[in-house]
Chains A and B, each alone.
Chain A
Amino acid sequence: MLSWGVVVGVASLYLLGLFVIAFISDQRAKSGFGGLINSPIVYTLSLAVYCTSWTFYGAVGSAARNGLEYLTIYTGPTLVLIGWTLLLRKLVRISKQQRITSIADFISARYGKSPVISALVTIIALIGVTPYIALQLKAVAASFDVLGAAGGWGPVAVQNWGLFGDTGFWVAVCMAVFVILFGTSNLGADERHPGIVAAIAFESLVKLFSLGAIAAFAVYGLHDGVEDLFSSTQWHSGVQRLTHFEDGFEARWIVMTFLSATAIICLPRQFQVTVVENTNEKALATASWLFPLYLFLVSLFVIPIAISGMTRLSPAANPDLFVLTVPLASDQNGLALLAFIGGLSAATSMVIVASIALAIMISNHLVTPLLLRFPRYSATGSSDVSATLLVARRISIVAILALGFLYYRLTGTSSPLASIGLISFVGIAQFMPALVSGVFWHGATGRGAIAGLSAGFVMWCYTLLAPTFAGNSWGMSDLVEFGPWGIAILKPTALFGFEYWDPLVHGLFWSMSANVGLFVIVSLCTRRSPLERLQSAVFVDAFRSDGPNMDDVLQRSATTADLVQLSRRVLGHKRTHDLFAAYARRQGRDDSIPSPDPGLIAFVERELAGTVGAASARSLLSTVVKGETISLNTVITLLDETQQAISHSRELESKSRELEQAAAQLRQANEQLTRLDKMKDDFLSQVSHELRTPMTSIRSFSEILVSNPDLEAEQARHFAGIIQHESERLTRLLGQILELNRLESGEMDWSPQQTDAVAIMRDAIETIHGLAHEFGTTIHDELGAEPIVIFTDADRMKQVCINLLSNAIKFNNSEDPGIWIRRVGPTDAGDFELQVVDNGPGIAPEHQASLFSKLSRGWNRPAQRPEGSGLGLAISRQIMEHVGGDLVLARSDTTGSCFAMRFPVHLHGSGFAKAMVK
């Protein structure tokens, strides 16, 4: 037997405990010992605010009435959490970057910080969530009544106790005090409330433990284990529903999974705990499995309680209260009290978070924009906004709870817990299209969002909310039964003739069709304002490492004094001072006054947005900031999605330019190869020609010798001499070809040393002396005594000199042939030349150009004169070029030719060594 005093006493102690936990956590967080509070486990448990009294009592009721369908309320969130990398992580990242304070703030910030959208979302949330809060108060009151009925001090008496005897009223008052104390103690750096989060986490543990205890009692106290529990399947139709599906369950199953998945993101209280109160993105990783596990356990605990309630209690018992009545029926008063506390914790946690989330939304998006219309608040240098805002927030909390309480008193206790919750879910689900498209679709526009939200909200009110009032004889019953003005096709529960649909599926279908349809169509038909373009880029590309730099895009100006004054009005003196000093330090200034660059203005706007929301922060800032124009070009070049395309096409352009260059180089190389190939062919044909001449004479003379054995000895010797001479010529020619080849391929061995060019030339003259005598040529040595010291291979140099001299001798057909050897230099540049001048016939101008190429011959071959191979000059020039000098035809006319060996300045001394290395 539980007396009234015990129940009230334990409940009061529990609530007091919550205050203590919240207080201690707040103090610890303030002093920087937030270790436990910031842990991922506390974060995960705070997400379990999702499990309200609707879960605690209603899930069992739903399981008893509709079978396994209740599971969808928990599998939907499981899917969202398991897929946290897809959506939740992005929401958390964006909210941190943008200092988002609520879901209304998030959606409005995405669509150009529109105050219209934030107000619209706030109103929808308020209307959608109020029934939900009422549901919690109703659950607490109902559970209190059940204990009273069992204890003999209710529930009849409760009806007479009036307002002050209503448990729901006292719970509402308690929650209002709690939320005002821990939710609005200050306008902090952000909308985080460590005390509240800790209390919520604690409450989540309590309700899980409590539900688990009752479930364990149902399995092992009332039944003989799991097998016994399910044995009733054979004869109880309610239990059978828990083991198989009824026909046509699919539509509701899918719709409810979708709804619950939406709710875990869009419910204002879920957005508050999941996104706004998140201190560390990594906590999401833990929550991604721990929170589904929590939901798993809760769902598991529901089944034995539901089965026990159905099989052990009278069929008239309210399934929504099985959690209490199952232990009570077995006289387990302690367990029943635990169940009551569990239900109380589920209800209070929801009321706390929902009211704080809604209060933030109301004060930021409804009250502040209204206040700013009054010059008292909007004018520069006017009074403190923060104090007004705190008062507004506190009044909002009281108003929300009053509204919830009013709803609960007016609608009575007619509909089951679960249906009220589901109607709320559909209302809240209207945020989904704008929210999800906002972070994935650049093209979503603010006007599209307004159209979609409004249409979905209207359809929701008409198809789902209005019929709930039908039972209260507010003139709604006629509307629901016959349609407006008796037009049956417009009946709210069977719109356009969809007669036999489940009301929930029907309502969701029409509201979502209207919402998504209008949202997409209007978005496609409207253009984004520059600010919307900017925000869409910031939201959609939140994970891009080269993300847009907002601060440079908005070219705004303001004085630091104005900014400080504005910030003080909203954030207070101390925080303003800290923030500005920190920014000044970042700018590298010695004093604590930052210079008012666009970055500072963006910084101040973000800080203000963290307190009053993006839209209000923008309008506050606009009072002190001038020239708020976004240069469209900057936006486009910096942020737009085309940015990437542009850089890609630039890359392609440079690539194709590189390719073109490579192709040109290849073409050049090809031309050179063709030329070289032709030269090779020419050379080969010339070589074979040169080889054939001596070969022919060798062959014909040897034939004569063979066919005339009786040839005179003298004649025969003469012919053999010719054969020997021609063979020598052949060998010489082949030797020279080989030498030239070696020179060209760089395989020739060189042994450079310090030597005297004059001495080499004299040596060559000595060598050629016999030949000169044979031709009757006089050699005039005009070199003088002074040496020309060079660093080179003496043998090769001598070869060049002999070649020049022998050419001058052999091809000279003058009456009185002569050769003059001269030196020229040093010139101004320090070069030397050795010249070999003859008085021969000269070289015809048409032959001069190809004189130094292979197998060319500048001279008309004089008859009866020894012939050259035509390779000598080519080899000589190769040698001279190889050592860094040059061999040129300095002059040639009918009076003779002049060949010059040039020795540039670097050849004297050590310069040659360098040339060789090259």
Chain B
Amino acid sequence: MELRDFTINSLRQRIKAREIKATDVCHASLERAEKLTDLNAFITLTPDRALKQAAEIDLAADAGRPLPPLAGAVIAIKDNMVIRGVRTTAGSKILFNYKPPYTATVVERLEAAGAVIIGKTNCDEFAMGSSNENSAYGPVKNPWDRERVPGGSSGGSAVAVSTGIALAALGSDTGGSIRQPASLTGVVGFKPTYGRVSRYGLIAFGSSLDQIGPFANSVEDAALVLSIIAGRDPIDSTSSDAPVDDYLGAAKGDVRGLRVGVPRQYYGTGLDEEVRASVESAIKKLEDLGATVVDISLPNTEYAVPVYYLIATAEASSNLARFDGVRYGFRAEEADTLKSMYSRTRDQGFGAEVKRRIMLGTYALSAGYYDAYYGKAQRVRSLIERDFRNAFEMCDVIATPTSPTPAFRLGEKTDDPLEMYLSDIYTITANLAGVPGVSLPCGFTSNGLPIGLQLIGRRFDETTLVRAASNIEQAIDLDTKPPVEGL
């Protein structure tokens, strides 16, 4: 059985017709995961939990009971979302043994909708990274070229979906951590509007930027999963009570009259020529389908990277203060005072990139520097938000490359954090402005690496993104199965 031959809905129909058993699907998924351990996409597999959930679906199917929308869909969860009793590390040594006593809202919603949670995927430590090389559990490899990174920080989730271990996966996106790995592995990755999906149970990195979203092999599946996890959660004060639209239905609409904005700032230096060509041709496809292309400007884009690395790190420096060795997780044993217990625990428990960002964020918030750094960054952030508001007066959706380059080599940028940070140059603006964005495959480089197109929409206008993405997907009709044995 090959999971990539199914959509979530087609699988559900087959299970409902009792042509396929959810438990068999689950076994197939687990076998594939075992076979592909060298990709290192998972930190923890949860076969017992998965098989139990699958068996319940089979029971319901056998009894002729109606099946929920995600019935039997094997879904992987990024390891920065908590599941009761399941080890949750966030890719960090400091949580190497942490088993949370509660479950994230998104996971509860998926399971209530019949999803089979297969395991926890590898990621950059505390979601800080663009290559998945910052995981304490080793890097994830790109199935298109195992010498290359899958992107980050949700690299494991992207790879699990790309290789057909899971039909969908959840990632989190603070500056591009869903869209960039989706782009580098040839899958669909959706970052919803800030507040669209509950963050309850997501281990925070940058709280005002973090948003959970789905990976899938089709726009339709991503839209379906999004429709399950979206909506107000009373225990996340930042979640919105804006009504959840019919994302699945939106996939069926056409794009005639849709105004597609192309911001010149996203096509400047640093953009790989093949990526540019591929993205431009995808935009051309939209035009062919009846959309209008408009030149737009997002003038404050050049400040996005510095603004992001001040705000995200400031929030992170505070969010990560709780990892102190006092209550859970790793604790350095050789300390003899409270202070040395703290510093040794955090020195040994955190990786280099996390420490770098904690220090950067601590500095940005320090007395005497706050106004010049954090305060100013917040002011520029509101200018970036305004850029988007202005742009959306002229267009309905913005089309850009997701990442300036295709997947780069493992180790290629690990010595140059600034270079690494630039991988997110096209994605972080959407987080700063709180607007939704989706990356979908739009082509390949000459050496066969996937290229992603990013579409950015108005706040809470996920439907337009789904509609546009779905139209491009059908028009381009790519084969996005990576060269992996059995696919």
Partners in one complex: no
